[in-house]
Amino acid sequence: MDNGFTQTVGLLKKNELILSVAESCTGGLIAKYFTDFPGSSVFFDSGFVTYSNESKINYLHVSDETLKKMEQSLVKSSEKC
């Protein structure tokens, strides 16, 4: 498995960094990819899956303004298809 994860894990370990992720549409898949690496507890701290806007606001403190910008961006992207 790679997709850039192997290189990222190497950098995390080399630089003694800790990773936490917040996901939405990926449903925890990014956290799974990182925790599939043996010894991932050295660099992986936590993962949050917040699918609803309410959860993003309450748990991740994402502003309503940011969510509206993301929504507009997604609408523009879908119009190109």
Residue pLDDT tens, the chain, 81 long: 567 899 999 999 999 999 999 999 899 999 999 999 999 999 999 999 999 999 999 999 999 999 999 888 887 776 665
Using CA atoms, how far apart are residues 26 and 49, in angstroms rounded to an integer? 8
pLDDT at 38: 95
Helix (H) or strand (E) holding 48: strand 44-49
pLDDT at 81: 54
Q: Are residues 5 and 34 in contact, defined by beta-carbon separation less than 8 angstroms?
A: yes
Tokens of 58: 């309450």
Q: Are residues 56 and 25 in contact, defined by beta-carbon separation less than 8 angstroms?
A: no
